[in-house]
């Protein structure tokens, strides 16, 4: 498969967007929940969510930040954002704003105004994940938090399962290179952030990594 941002956008413009909430991603919900529970998210926090997709992470985040907080979700798929907006309307959530943008070039303001930055199941499918990650960090206040949850390549004997993991992830834009990028991203986070914690799940094919901004 060619690892290209245009392909990724096309994938999320098609049938996948309609079926997304009934396919593989909700399977990761329990580990996303663990990441949110392990985070410092609290009532009133402002949270920037990159690759928010259909908003599957919103309920977890809202359970911590409450009505006093705010979520700004960014995604470049109009179709996925439409699904997110439907959820927002159905649930009556009033403190979520959606922005259609490419996170590799996204800039909100020059002011760091978010307490926490989150991206789940996003970075590993983005060829220029380093720009996306840097843009996320640049929006977060000092002593704020970055939460990344994603798929990754397993090591040791578990590496035998990698072809299966990648096969399952392919229709969502997952590739061997992308899964490998997750390992690199965690190394970068270890250099940039403090109080780092990484946890791995399901034969190490999914991880979350949380750290504090300087």
Q: Does 25 bind ligand SAM (CB under 6 A)?
A: yes
Neighbours of 102 (CB within 10 A): 16
Q: Does 76 bind ligand SAM (CB under 6 A)?
A: yes
The nearer residue to ligand SAM, 30 or 160, going by C-beta atoms, is 30
- For ligand SAM, which residue of 72, 88, 96, 103 counts as binding (CB under 6 A)? 103
Contact region for ligand SAM (CB under 6 A) — 60-68, 75-83, 151-159, 185-193?
75-83
The nearer residue to ligand SAM, 98 or 140, going by C-beta atoms, is 98
Neighbours of 104 (CB within 10 A): 18
Instruction: Compute the Cα dihedral for 29, 11, 78, 49 and give only its sign.
Output: positive
The nearer residue to ligand SAM, 188 or 214, going by C-beta atoms, is 188
Q: Does 205 bind ligand SAM (CB under 6 A)?
A: no
Cα 72–Cα 198–Cα 193 angle in degrees, nearest 5: 65
Record the tokens describing residue 158, joined without a space.
Answer: 């578990």
The nearer residue to ligand SAM, 4 or 195, going by C-beta atoms, is 4
DSSP string, 100-129: E--TTT----SS--EEEEEEES-GGG-TTH
147 touches 116 (CB < 8 A): yes
Q: What three-state secondary structure class fits 51?
A: coil
Biggest distance spanned by C-alpha atoms of the chain: 47
- For ligand SAM, which residue of 65, 96, 116, 126 counts as binding (CB under 6 A)? 126
Residue with smallest beta-carbon separation from ligand SAM: 53
85 touches 98 (CB < 8 A): yes
Q: Does 122 bind ligand SAM (CB under 6 A)?
A: yes
- For ligand SAM, which residue of 56, 71, 98, 148 counts as binding (CB under 6 A)? 56
The nearer residue to ligand SAM, 88 or 103, going by C-beta atoms, is 103
- For ligand SAM, which residue of 31, 60, 61, 104 counts as binding (CB under 6 A)? 104
Q: Smallest gap, in angstroms, from Cβ of residue 197 to ligand SAM?
A: 20
121 touches 151 (CB < 8 A): yes
Question: Rule CB under 6 A: which residues touch ligand SAM?
Answer: 5, 8, 12, 25, 51-53, 56-57, 75-77, 80, 102-104, 120-122, 125-126, 172
């Amino acid at each position: 498969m060619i690892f290209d941002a245009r392909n990724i956008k096309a994938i999320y413009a098609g049938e996948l967007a309609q079926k997304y909430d009934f396919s593989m991603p909700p399977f990761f919900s329990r580990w996303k929940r663990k990441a949110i529970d392990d985070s410092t998210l609290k009532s009133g926090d402002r949270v920037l969510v990159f690759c928010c997709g259909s908003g599957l992470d919103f309920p977890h985040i809202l359970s911590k930040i409450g009505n006093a907080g705010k979520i700004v979700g960014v995604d470049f798929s109009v179709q996925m954002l439409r699904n997110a907006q439907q959820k927002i309307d159905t649930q009556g959530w009033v403190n979520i704003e959606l922005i259609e943008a490419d996170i590799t070039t996204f800039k909100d303001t020059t002011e760091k105004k978010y307490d926490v930055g989150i991206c789940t199941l996003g970075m590993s499918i983005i060829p220029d994940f380093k720009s996306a990650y840097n843009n996320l960090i640049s929006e977060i206040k000092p002593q704020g938090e970055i939460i990344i949850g994603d798929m990754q390549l397993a090591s040791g004997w578990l590496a035998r399962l990698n072809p299966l993991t990648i096969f399952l992830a392919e229709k969502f834009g997952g590739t061997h290179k992308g899964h490998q990028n997750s390992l690199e991203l965690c190394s970068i986070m270890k250099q940039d952030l403090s109080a780092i914690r990484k946890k791995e799940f399901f034969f190490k094919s999914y991880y979350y990594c949380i750290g504090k901004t300087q």
